[in-house]
Structure 1
Amino acid sequence: MIGLDEATNKELAQVICTLEAKFNLADLLRVLPISPDTFFYWKRQFKKPDKDCQLKHFISRIWNHDQHMGVLRITQALLNDFDLKVNHKRVYRLMKELDIQGEGYRKKIRKYDSSKGPEGTRVKNKLRRRFQTDRPNQKMVSDVTEFKIPETQEKVYFEPIMDLYNNEILTFAITAGSPNLEFAMKPLNSLIELIPNQPYKQFLHTDQGWQYRHRTWQKKLRSAHITPSMSRRATCLEAV
């Protein structure tokens, strides 16, 4: 509960307007920490039509349809669905007045971190940001990404292997279970069966996720004559 000392002048004025029918106005102004001039200013403001009334209605309508939507997504939805170009700061202010916010911000949710796991072996970054290639299957990349289905809150993990020659997804795996080693190995096993042996050196570039540091992953790569490469931690420019 907000104390009187913490209440804003607007909130105090709303309280007085509510109690004015039952109590003497002079007594209310004497008891509550708000000056008469400030009270009458807000009373006049309350009588004015709310210029944001329609916009608040649209924001509430969008949010009620998907309560996971935050400020930026609602701002974009206003433009897409109602052709209303509104500054995101205004949307934020109105959402605060409506006491609504995206469900994703109401509680801290631990995000998937592939670096946490068995230590394994880290390898050097062999690509060193040289992601361009004119040869198929020469430079490939992979990563495990976590998604959340809004309707069910179910977590889904997706691991593709992409060829940087033409950005083609060569193989992939999807699971709603744990992104364990067995899951991580599926695209790699499919890749080895799919791509032919090339006369040039081949690379598979990843982050430092525990699956990619695992001995089984690296042994499988080397048995297929594919050189592993890893970006450094917290270095987004080294990841595709």
Structure 2
Amino acid sequence: MAENGAVSAKKSGGVGKGESLRQFRQEPQYEAVRRGVEDEGFPVSTACRALHVSRAGYYQWRSGEAGIRVTENQRIAGLVGEIHRESPDKGYRRIRDDLDKYYHAPVNDKRALRICRSLGIQSAVKYAPRGCTRSAASPKHLAENILNRRFYADRPNEKWLTDVTEFHYYVGPTMHKLYLSAILDLCDRRIVSFAIRDANDTALVHNTLDQALETNPGVHPMLHSDRGCAYTTQIFHDKLTAAGITQSMSRVGKCTDNGPMEGFWGILKRERYYGRRFTSRAALVCMIREYITYYNFRRLQRGLGVRTPMEVHDCLLAA
């Protein structure tokens, strides 16, 4: 019966998609059956029944005639493991996109999911938000919500979002705070500019804006923010007016009015910050700088047609 099973599989040209992945997942059990039969003298049927695998599948694996697809699954699993070791935060969708883009191994989502499950790989869990930024106690200037959750733009430098987020690092038992300010372009989702300081003050957001205008001369976008104290000063409003920038602000207590910017903070922290303990300011700053470069130039986004923000940016500028 064993020989007949192997011959019939060989005649049919191998095994189907489901069977090939099942054999790939059950390879450790097949190896255990082989050791039990050869070293301990157990009957094949008893060993297979104890390990919940079929005799036909074991004999097919043992004969080496499992088929091309099993071998291909093993090759893809090796690439998946390599991607996971480099970026443990990635789930099966991002792994599938990386396989296609960077490893020239196109597979569909279902196959990538099955292989990830067989290897015990899953994406990092997103932490629940803890609340929204409070409005300034005595704002000098407030703007209407002109953006009004229209989170799209036809061209780069048409609509910018900005915000500040907080990080922690430790020197011994003492916790220190670090603040990151960034501007995100709604068209290509790139980070236009960012600044890092030890204090959440006006200089932080001014540096971010100055850097954005310096690297994108002559632009006059809409700039949307929350109602934090740094954005409601008269000095900041005057800087925007002098640069020909239209100011827009979220409504009170409505974090979703600045959704894509909040989403970027969540992506950054989930992929590189949560679950880690930074023991120096330099290490935390290095992580932030490296991640923003990775996000702009290497991190594929399905919302951008499985491209990076800078690929979309360069394509639109060339057009």
Shorter-chain TM-score range: 0.5 to 0.7
Q: What amino acid is aligned across from residue 46 of structure 1 in structure 2? A: W
Q: What amino acid is aligned across from residue 97 of structure 1 in structure 2? A: S
Q: Who is 1:22 aligned against?
A: 40
Quick one: which of 82, 107, 116 aligns to 1:95?
116
The normalised TM-score by structure 2 is: 0.42
The normalised TM-score by structure 1 is: 0.52
Residue 134 of structure 2 corresponds to residue 118 of structure 1: yes
Residue 252 of structure 2 corresponds to residue 213 of structure 1: no
Cα distance per residue 1:76-98 (max 9 Å; x no partner): 33223442221122122112222
Q: Is 1:78–1:84's contact at 8 Å kept on the other side of the alignment?
A: yes
C-alpha distance in structure 1 between counterparts of 2:231 and 2:179, whole Å? 23
Corresponding residue pairs, total: 193
Identity %: 14
SS state at 1:157 partner: strand
Q: Who is 2:201 aligned against?
A: 181
Q: Is 1:10–1:42's contact at 8 Å kept on the other side of the alignment?
A: no
Residue 249 of structure 2 corresponds to residue 230 of structure 1: yes
Cα distance per residue 1:145-182 (max 9 Å; x no partner): 77x9xxxxxx98342398x9xx9x9x95421x557234
Quick one: which of 160, 182, 191 aligns to 2:183?
160
Q: Who is 1:144 aligned against?
A: 163
C-alpha distance in structure 2 between counterparts of 1:87 and 1:225, whole Å? 46
> Quick one: structure 1 residues 75 and 173, their matched pair in 2 at CA, closer, same or farther if it must change by over 3 Å?
closer
Q: What amino acid is aligned across from residue 36 of structure 2 in structure 1? A: L
84-93 or 74-83, larger mean C-alpha shift: 74-83
Q: Is 1:205–1:231's contact at 8 Å kept on the other side of the alignment?
A: no
> Quick one: structure 1 residues 19 and 85, their matched pair in 2 at CA, closer, same or farther if it must change by over 3 Å?
same
SS state at 1:44 partner: helix
C-alpha distance in structure 1 between counterparts of 2:147 and 2:119, whole Å? 50
Cα distance per residue 1:1-21 (max 9 Å; x no partner): xxxxxxxx9599645554344
SS state at 2:182 partner: strand
Higher helix share: 2
> Gapped runs of 5+ residues in structure 1?
1-8, 133-138, 149-154, 193-201
Q: What amino acid is aligned across from residue 53 of structure 1 in structure 2? A: Q
- 1:118 Cα offset (Å): 3.4
- 1:143 Cα offset (Å): 0.6
Q: Who is 1:5 aligned against?
A: none
Quick one: which of 2, 24, 46 aligns to 2:61?
46
Q: What amino acid is aligned across from residue 19 of structure 1 in structure 2? A: G
C-alpha distance in structure 2 between counterparts of 1:46 and 1:236, whole Å? 55
Residue 122 of structure 2 corresponds to residue 86 of structure 1: no
Q: Is 1:160–1:187's contact at 8 Å kept on the other side of the alignment?
A: yes
C-alpha distance in structure 1 between counterparts of 2:260 and 2:28, whole Å? 55
Is the radius of gyration larger for structure 1 or structure 2?
1
